[in-house]
Chains A and B, each alone.
Chain A
Amino acid sequence: MNLIFLAEEGAEEHNPLIPEWIEVVLALVVFALLFLALKKFVVPNFEKTFAERTTAIEGGLKAAETKQAEADAKLAELDRQLSEARHEAARIREEAREQGAAIIAEMREQAQAEANRIVDHGKAQIEAERQQAVASLRTEVGTLATSLAGRIVGESLDDEARQRRVVERFLDELESSPNGSGAAR
């Protein structure tokens, strides 16, 4: 083997292709140590980190999806509630309008009734006063008439009974004739 390198200075040179056995063994031993150390302490750590990261990312995505769905549901619920509230408001407004109209009608009715009552009362009072006036008038007219007549006739008509009869007859005549009745009032 040294023949190849005889040209080189020093025929004792080692052919580089012929291994030193100690190096073969040493390279294998050191590599084996490195391999075992990496396999035991490094690879599992990296793999765990990768797996955890994958889980974390997938979990994050899932959580985001759930949140999104929840938010959508909540939004739909709120929309529903809002439209319900609108309906409710419209209904209440309508009801209020109806109630208002009813109240106004009722008030008007009451006012009308009150007015009627007041008018009736007034009429009744007037009637009563008129009756009273008629009654008192009748007495006064009778008295006046009789005393006047008595003066004219010269004869006392103080006799109560006769006096009354005369007056009554006069007034009845007065009432039964249309002109007389108008004059009497």
Chain B
Amino acid sequence: MTFASSESFHAPGPATFELPPVFEIGSVGVTKPMLQLFLAAALVFAFFYAASAKRAMVPGKLQYAGEAAYGFVRNGLARDLIGSRDFMRFVPYLFALFFFILLNNFFGSIPMINFPTFSRAGMVYGLAALSWIIYNAVGIRKHGFVGYLKHQSVPHGVSPVLYPLLIPLEFLSNIIVRPVTLALRLFANLFAGHILLVLFSTGGLYLLQNEGVIGAVAGPVAWVLAILVSFLELLVQFLQAYVFVLLNAMYISGALADEH
């Protein structure tokens, strides 16, 4: 995508997300977001390993930061939602999930990387499918297969007359739709945010180069907007990671609950 001065403006679209492979292994092209997955995993592990290895009674700055981050997921998400009886089983999963998604999202705003990994739908589908398998497996293990389906589909405190209406709805919303919304929410937010940033940046450049006096004013304005949108994106990136993990914890807690 180059913007020769004579061409009309080429708005960013889905093609923006089709990056050329950085290198190829056999016939498989390795693209930037694939490398970002590894980078994110490596950085998350390196940070938390360094923070947790010392195990000082009085933590230093690094350890304190690591403990605060770990405690945020452990206490703020896992324990508060799942309850202190069962939550420890799920802490490693939720902990890894949150910081993996968070860093991959921040890659959308980190200079020189500037691409949110989870704006690639495939990446998100994998994690959403994993979430679906986990919360259903947890529920089936606790209630048995039939018991679990009943647990998720038959609402309590409702007249049986309404069952024919409510059971399919509950089943649909609790078993079928959840992974889809989980995946689309994360994917679409990052996708849209990235398009917006690309639009303001490249549009600003185009205006500056091609629209004379008006462009000379409007171009920098577009860039200022791009900066503002970047801050908004930072918030969205954090929120989406948080929401993804929050919903995971809620689904697990719902599957484990003794009754509605």
Question: Secondary structure of the A side of the interface?
Answer: helix
Residue contact B122 to A30, C-beta cutoff 8 Å:
no
Q: A31-B97, A45-B53 are in contact. Are A19 and B18 (CB under 8 A)?
A: no
Residue contact B127 to A13, C-beta cutoff 8 Å:
no
Please, how many angstroms separate the alpha-carbon atoms of A22 and B121 in the complex?
11
Residue of B nearest to A16 (CB): B14
Residue contact B57 to A38, C-beta cutoff 8 Å:
no
Q: Is A37 an interface residue (CB 8 A)?
A: yes
Residue among B17, B56, B100 with max Cβ neighbours from chain A (10 Å): B100
Number of A-B contacts (CB under 8 A): 127
Contact of B14 among A5, A23, A31, A53 (CB under 8 A): A5
**Chain A residues within 8 Å of chain B by Cβ, number:** 40
Kindly provide the distance from the CB of B128 to the nearest chain A CB, expressed in whole angstroms: 10
Residue contact B92 to A35, C-beta cutoff 8 Å:
yes
Please, how many angstroms separate the alpha-carbon atoms of A42 and B205 in the complex?
45
Residue contact B126 to A48, C-beta cutoff 8 Å:
no
Please, how many angstroms separate the alpha-carbon atoms of A23 and B117 in the complex?
10
Point out the residues of chain A lying under 8 angstroms from B130, CB to CB. Answer: 28, 31
Residue of A nearest to B33 (CB): A23
Which residues of chain B in 135-159 are interfacial with respect to chain A, using CB atoms and an 8 Å cutoff?
none
Q: A8-B15, A15-B14 are in contact. Are A38 and B48 (CB under 8 A)?
A: yes
Please, how many angstroms separate the alpha-carbon atoms of A21 and B91 in the complex?
28
Q: Is B220 an interface residue (CB 8 A)?
A: no
Kindly provide the distance from the CB of A96 to the nearest chain B CB, expressed in whole angstroms: 61
Q: Is B95 an interface residue (CB 8 A)?
A: yes
Point out the residues of chain A lying under 8 angstroms from B129, CB to CB. Answer: 24, 28
Kindly provide the distance from the CB of B22 to the nearest chain A CB, expressed in whole angstroms: 14
Residue contact B123 to A24, C-beta cutoff 8 Å:
yes
Binding site for B on A (CB under 8 A): 5, 8-10, 13-28, 30-31, 33-35, 37-39, 41-43, 45-50, 52-53, 56
- Additional A-B contacts beyond A19-B125, A20-B122, A30-B37 (4; CB < 8 A): A16-B14, A23-B126, A43-B70, A48-B55
